[in-house]
Structure 1
Amino acid sequence: DGYVYIVPAAGYYYDYLNTEYLYNSWTPATIGSQKFEENDPAIEGGMFAVWNDHAGNGISVKDIHHRIFPALQTLAVKCWSGKNTSLPFADYNTRRLSLSEAPGVNEQGRLGKPGTVVLSRDEVKSGETLNAEEIGYNYSVSFKINGEEEAKGTELFRSANAVFYLSDPRNGLLGFERDGYLNTFNYRVEKGKEVTLTIAGNNKSVSLFVDGKLREELGPKTLYVIRDRNLANYQVEGAYATSPKVYDPSDKIYYQRTLVFPLRHAGNFRSRITSLEVKQAE
């Protein structure tokens, strides 16, 4: 199972399968450390698996799909052709990108070729509907904002899968919500101030640029699982009772803060949004 197991952002097995190795060296006749004869009639095919061991680590459905799709393409080739592939890996890896996921399906949110502007607006009106649901990795979304005071929970954009907030519901910060997770930047829209904001996202992080300068990057973050049994109580009973409580956690997760950026519906904001440019990045 070592070659074909994905456990997203776990730190063991694969985060993404090594598709180059699989394409060049693996066939369904390879099962763990055992190598069977090619075309052995006892072998009906091969498969890979995704195990989401770490509940709460921020991995989204989109992130899982991003890991599955190249693995699916590669194992499909190898289960069909075995060791007799006809293209060098570099050629295959380029050509596979031209294949759609399925008719009418775009879970990866690809809107155009890398390096192209795929959507633009001189001004985005409150409540407007745009002609794209979302944009996936890699992307940049840039716009000018002339700030007004925004109530907590004010949305910039919403899709079927995510929300990007001008003022998040908890603290009134710029941020986003998807798959039951809320992530925020340490940035607040200021009334009467005009700036250009750019949000750049990939499969590892989301970054905020203010007037072209990086303000903050939300990337993987190590979090620790705290249980009652992890209480590190080295003090004797009595006058030196544990205060504050300190813990020696044994488990950790690598929390992921990614975003396939929502575009379909503009929120009911008061600020003025102009010069929107959505770009499929390299």
Structure 2
Amino acid sequence: MLRLLSIEIQKIKLNKAAKVITAVYFLLIIAIALIASIEFNFAQVNFRIADQGFFNFPFIWHFNTYVAGILKLFLAIIIVSMMSNEYSYRTLKQNLIDGMSKKEFITSKFLTVLMFAAISTVFVFLVSLILGFFFSDHTELAVVFRDMEYLLAYFIKLVGFFSFCLFLGIFVKRSAFALGFLVIWQIIEGIIYGVLKWQLFKGTEIAEKIINFFPLESMADLIKEPVTRLGGVQTLANQVGEEFNKDYNVQWYTILIVLIWTTIFIYGSYAILKRRDL
């Protein structure tokens, strides 16, 4: 395992674009802290994001994992280009000639997926912990480490999404086309949902239940948007006659769905590689 991972790490080190994109990704997460400390002035009213409760424990775990999840496309570019380079530079064929089996090759790529997901999760944890202790109104340990399941959901979300990108990279071979297919698939899921919602199951919640089994939607469902969970937003909504009854918890069945898709993508990647003439 370590040998396979070390080979992939060496490839990433030699890829300047991968190093730049990775740096940008982590810098954008750090930028959350910088934005939090900025004080805005609107109509002579001072406003600072950190004072609105976004970085209070335990809400910060929900908020930061959601925001960081939006930025996952940066690392997805690395995963896709990583596979594209294997074909372009013929390193895949060379690895197989040198004695690496196709199963070991897919394993090495999946280990890279796990590595990126784990590093990102640890990084989000550390940034959130620092921000929380700096800005949160409550820093008791019982409060600080509540709702940590959002970090688990974030890790699984990244593993699932990167596995999908790995599958597309192997299936399409070209990074631009693979990323394009990713966007197209998002649109396809939206169209399917629209047909289910407004044509086949109009006036029911069946469409929502069906679409939740689709890959990208199930990954999105792992961490629901957190803004409407804030007390101030809830109060404002009640004042205008609106009410948010959303369940913001991480659901075990959503985790299971994403893990099943992850398995399908990894096995599908191996099946394609096994049958393809290199």
Q: Same fold (TM over 0.5)?
A: no
Which protein is richer in strand relative to its size?
Answer: 1
Higher-Rg structure is 1
TM-score, normalized by length of structure 2? 0.31
Which protein is richer in helix relative to its size?
Answer: 2
TM-score, normalized by length of structure 1? 0.31
